[in-house]
Amino acid sequence: MVTIQFVPYTEIENLSGLGRIRKLLNIAKMNKIVLLQGRLRKEEEAELIKTTMEEIDKKFKGIELAVINPSQTAKDDLQKFKYGFLNMFFGETQGLTIIGPSSIVKNIKKDPNKIELLTKEAKR
């Protein structure tokens, strides 16, 4: 069975960068796929990957990560302006982030408009 845990951005917005990383990584370490409203900052994504690499062991094999950023798919200048304006006021709440443990997530295929998440049976 695959468990998906939705995390609204409001649940992590007041945490420090390390606090955000710990919260999301702890959920993934419970063999749950994290569906985060919004996205982490680039530095936080890099730190998440670094922290994950340090914590790999026999029980925890790492994570798979994918982000959809709507401002990257904006087709015209008006859309780009709109997303830039929204990010200025609301921060990184635009977009969607998926973080899944490598023991469950086989592959994540991403294009600008969708994510396909292929899973494998979790080993218990």
Which CATH number is 46's domain given? 3.30.950
- Is residue 57 situated within a structural domain? yes
- Is residue 75 situated within a structural domain? yes
Per-residue confidence (pLDDT) for residue 88, from 0 to 100: 64
DSSP 22: H
- Structurally, how many domains does the chain consist of? 1
- Is residue 58 situated within a structural domain? yes
Tell me the HSE value of 58 on the side-chain side, using a 13 A CA sphere: 1
Residues 6+ apart with CB under 8 A from 6: 35, 37
- Is residue 124 situated within a structural domain? no
Across the range 114-120, mean pLDDT stands at 83
- Is residue 89 situated within a structural domain? yes
User: Residue 10 belongs to what domain range?
Assistant: 3-119
Q: Strand pairing partners for 117?
A: 108
- Is residue 65 situated within a structural domain? yes
Question: Do residues 100 and 64 touch, judged by C-beta distance below 8 A?
Answer: yes
The bridge status of strand 32-37 relative to strand 3-7 is parallel
Instruction: Give the model's confidence band at 61: pLDDT under 50 very low, under 70 low, under 90 confident, else very high.
Output: very high
**Which is more confidently placed, 27 or 118?**
27
- Alpha-carbon gap, residue 89 to 40, rounded angstroms: 16
The 3-state DSSP class for residue 98 equals strand
Indicate the pTM of the whole model.
Answer: 0.79
